[in-house]
Every structure is written in structure tokens, then in C-alpha cells.
Structure 1
Amino acid sequence: MNISIVGPGAIGSLWASYLHDAGHRVCLWSRQNTATLAIQRDDYPSLLLMNNDPQALQQSDIILVTLKAPLVERVLTNIRHHIAPEAVVILMHNGMGTADKIKTLMPENPLVLATTTHGAYRKAANHVLHTGQGKTLLGAANHKAKQCEFLVDVFNHALAEVAWHDEIEHALWNKLAINCAINPLTAIHQIRNGELTRTEFRDQLQSIISEVCRVMQAEGVDAIETNLAVMVDQVIHATSNNFSSMEQDIAHQRASEIDFITGYLLKCANKHKIGVPTNQALFQAIKQIEQRW
């Protein structure tokens, strides 16, 4: 298949490499103003992929969008006239809140939402490390995408394990709960994920999870606080040596995804008139750090 990766950061580069190795024609769309881009995965030979080619984008069967959430709407607005109306658009990023905007922006395209637990680290601009095996979930965000379950076979053949989720919003909420717990704290304190096991963070983590659980339940998601706590604890231990994406953004003075993680939670909490003071304080703390720049 013809597949374009829009935003080849760590996760985008990882998928580009694996999809290429699986025999697909992979092209990139990036901020780099070059006709080609090199991508190396782990110790494998470097690939040279076409970059920013409007014709290749127009011929793509699948558009895999791995941009950070704050960039999704702006970039897709700029390139949508190059995207065929039948092309499947897949959003794969941390946080929630972009899908409704893209459904309005690109009403003809099947829109699929994705979440993955594969670990990827960008060692250098063109070098990505696959730092942890995981699972990828796909699900329909609009009616046309309900016919796209075939994508499981396409992606599973490239980088297993992949599954279709009929309630993808529920899976995204679980991922959001993990991000709300880990990302702001690690970013504020500039620590690795594993350091959240320290006693000083125990009460704060419990409060974050309790607040998120109440909002999830109000949103109609079957959430149990103890289960969420176990899930967060498992991720902290499994990724103990990793820096979260938000920690890296703050460390490098880049705009974070806080609006689409904790910010999305606050919007939903406000809608249901649920108090979430711990998450509100973390949101404000990240915003204050960003504003100091």
C-alpha cells in the first residue's frame, strides 16, 4: 500500500521503518525542507524515504498522523488539499481532543484513532531506537472508518501486536489516565518515570487517579479507581528508565501536549461540574513553566 507518515518523530519514524520493511511504499511529510529523509532504526541499515512530495501524498491509501496533538489541526489544514477523499486518516498521538476537529475538517475521509504502547526514542534526528515492545489499538472515529478493520492485518504484519477496538474512546481514556498521572509530574520535577515510585509522590498520584476516574465515569467509560492505579503503576515500572514526552518537551523548552492531556480532562470535568483540584494545579504549573520562556 501507499502510506504517508505525517510527522516522523520517534513513533512516526518507528512505524515508517517497520511499514517499509513489510513491503509498503512509505513516504514522509515533515518540517524538514528536503526531498528525502533518512531513517535508521536501531542498528539496521538507514532508509532513504521520499519527503514532502505532494503527488506521493495524493496517492496515499493511508495517512498515518504521528504529530504531537497541538500540531494536528494546523498541519492537516495545510495539506488536506493533497489528500484523496478516500484515503484513511489515522491519528496516533498522546492526548485527546483532535478527532472532532479533524472530522469537521475532512468529512469525506475515513478517520481512525490509534493508541500504542510501543516505546520509541529518537537518539538523533535520523536515528530511532525501538525501546520497548507494546500493543497498538485501532478504532473508528466516524462511520466510514467502521469499514477499516482490514488495517489490523496491514499494521500487524509490520509491527505486532495490533487489534481493533470497537470502543476506541475507552482505550484512549485509559491512555489519558496514564498520561495525566505520569507526564506532568515527571515534567515539573524533571525526573524519569521510575522516580514516581518515591514515597513523596504517592498521595499526589492517588489523587490524580481518583479525579480522572470520576471524570471517566461521568463520560460513560467503565473505570475503576483501583484498576487505573494498578495500570499506572505497571507503566511506571515498565518504563522506569524512560523520560516522558512531556518531560522532554519541558527540558528542551518546547510547547507540551498539556492542553490535550490534563487540559482535555479539565474541559470534561468542567462539563460535568466535577472538581479536579490536583490535576488543575498540575496544569497550571506546566503552563507557568511554558510562559516563563
Structure 2
Amino acid sequence: MSAPAQQRPVAVIGAGAIGLSLASALARTGRPVTVCGRTPVDRIEVTEDGIPESWPVTHTSSPADIAGFDTAILAVKAHHTDQVADWLRVIADPGATVLVAQNGVEHRRRVAPYTGSASIVPTVVYLNVERTVPGKAILRRVGDRDLAVRDDEAGRAITAELTAGRMRVGLEPDFATAAWAKLLTNITANPLTALTGRRVEVIRDPGVGGIARQIMTEAVRVAQAEGAALTDADVDRWMEWLRNVPPGATTSMRQDRLAGRPLEYDALTGAVVRAAERHGIDVPVNRLVLALVAAIRPEEETR
């Protein structure tokens, strides 16, 4: 018999905007939350529609403290995965679940080297969340779901808990299509907001919107070669979605540039270019965007 939720702590590896939001859902179900990392946090707070809600948490800077945990939320940026390898190795046991809340389409390839026999649950995150200070975030829900999860045994189990914690989660039997569809928005909104310094409404500008459409159209060809069931209709769908995001919505790449942090372009546009190379598909606009974003040195701009 499994232990009740109140006795089953969950580790949050990466307490940024997304990590805080997912942790808050599990906290609502009664699961104790342990925040992993250098910055001490004793409470987490998520504000939605102007209403803050908070929960006490435990903080640890030692991977040994999460030994025996059966659930972890991995929400560091994709390019920081190897930096948290020690945390992942501690919970790499049969029966453990690692919910991977990262961008891109290479979740398993990126995480599997560190997670041993643990179940990897890749996700597609639709939430728009902005971390204001350590431990606090503003949550904006977009569309009719917050998260998509692969429809398998481990995915169904964590979905039940997240749903109980007021996350709107969809189970995806065709996860590859869902992941590539979300990538269409990430490879447009993220780099274009980082390059222009503006929030997501920049996509409404005709010139920028035209570039966004070209980026997506190229990526659809690549996604089809990778086995995803996308068409040009998905370009129309996701362009419309971006044009109608809530006012003030930002992106993680824009936030990282403003804060002087490294940018997560390799897991996004880099993944498209790598897949295009595997299939011999020409993606000139994506290559241009990759070169421009890779050339940004945000840490130099903040000096």
C-alpha cells in the first residue's frame, strides 16, 4: 500500500516560474514540497487573477536530502539539465517519477542519462508564468489546458494528482505531435521577444508576425519528417493563439536576456535545425534566428 500524500514529499528541481506553478498544484493536494537549490525559500506563492495563494515548503541545498523521494519536478531550463545531474541521480530508482517540465522535443534524450530506472514523464507546458522574486510567481492560464502529458501509466498517475490540484492536464497518446505543436510557439515567441526586447504582443506587428509564420512553416516540414501529424493549419492555429495571449504576457527567453542569464535557444530552434539536418530539409529562417540568438551575450549587457 502506498503512503498517503501527506507522507510523500515532492522535490522541485528548478523553482522558477513553471516549477513553482506545478509545485503549487501538488501542494494543494497535501503533498509536502521540498525546493532544491542554492536560494533559501520557506514559502512559495502563486498569484492568479490578482489573488495570491501560498504554501510552506522545505528548502535544501543537498541532493542527499531528497533520497527516497518518489516524485520530482524537473523545471530547470533545458540547457541547465547537466548542472542538476546530482539531484536527478539521487531519485533514479524504480518507482520514482520525474516530471520533466522543459521546452523542446528532446525530453527523454536529455534526462535519461541521469534518471536510471525512474519513470520519465515529459510534458508540454501551456501556462504563461512570470517569476517575480524567488519563491513567488504570477500565473496566467492560456487556452483550455495548462499541461499535456504522455498517456502512459506514469503519466496517468501524475495527471490525477495535478488535476486534483487544479491543473488542467490533458493526456496525449500522440505526444510527439503535441510537443512539436507547442514548439511552434516556442521557436517564435521566445527568440522574437528576446531579440526585440518586447513582450509577446510583438507578434501582432505585421512584419514580426510574417517572420513568425515563416519560422513555423519551416518547422512543420521538419515535424512531419519526425513523425508528428502537423499541417499548415497548425501554423494558422498557433499564430492565432499567439496573437491572443493575455496582455503583458512575456517569455522565459526575454526574461533571461533582461536578467543577464544564458538563453535557452539550443533546445528550441537548435532542436529544429538538428532535426532538419537529419532529414535534409532546408530551414533558412530558423538558421538565421538561431545564429542571431546564439550571438546574444546577455551577461555582457548587464555589466
**TM-score, with structure 2 as normaliser:** 0.87
Equivalent residue number for residue 122 of structure 2: 113
Q: How far off is 1:81 after superposition?
A: 4.0
Which one-letter code corresponds to 2:200 in the other structure? Answer: N
The CA distance in 1 between the partners of 2:295 and 2:199, in whole Å, is 21
Structure 2: gaps (5+ residues): none
Q: How far off is 1:18 after superposition?
A: 2.6
Which one-letter code corresponds to 1:207 in the other structure? Answer: Q
Secondary structure of 2:244's aligned partner: helix
Q: How does 1:141-290 map to 2 (within 5 A)?
A: 146-290=153-297
Equivalent residue number for residue 123 of structure 1: 132
**TM-score, with structure 1 as normaliser:** 0.90
The CA distance in 1 between the partners of 2:115 and 2:54, in whole Å, is 34
Judge which range, 229-238 or 218-227, deviates more. 229-238
Equivalent residue number for residue 38 of structure 1: 43
* Percentage identity across paired residues of the two chains: 22
The CA distance in 1 between the partners of 2:37 and 2:160, in whole Å, is 26
Q: 1:62 aligns with which of 53, 71, 74?
A: 71
Work out whether residues 58 and 84 of structure 1, in 8 Å CA contact, stay in contact via their aligned partners in 2: no
CA deviation string 1:269-291 (max 9, x = no partner): 01111111111111111111128
Equivalent residue number for residue 13 of structure 2: 6
Work out whether residues 89 and 114 of structure 2, in 8 Å CA contact, stay in contact via their aligned partners in 1: no
Secondary structure of 2:25's aligned partner: helix
Secondary structure of 1:234's aligned partner: helix
Number of equivalences? 286
Work out whether residues 176 and 227 of structure 2, in 8 Å CA contact, stay in contact via their aligned partners in 1: no
Secondary structure of 1:260's aligned partner: coil
Change beyond 3 A, Cα 1:217–1:200: same
RMSD value, Cα: 2.1
Equivalent residue number for residue 100 of structure 1: 109
Work out whether residues 89 and 116 of structure 2, in 8 Å CA contact, stay in contact via their aligned partners in 1: no
Q: How far off is 1:292 after superposition?
A: 8.0
Secondary structure of 1:187's aligned partner: helix
Which one-letter code corresponds to 2:148 in the other structure? Answer: L
Structure 1: gaps (5+ residues): none
CA deviation string 1:101-155 (max 9, x = no partner): 3223323111110112122221222321222254211116xxxx64542222111
CA deviation string 1:34-69 (max 9, x = no partner): 4x5321222446433111254651232211111111
Equivalent residue number for residue 49 of structure 1: 57
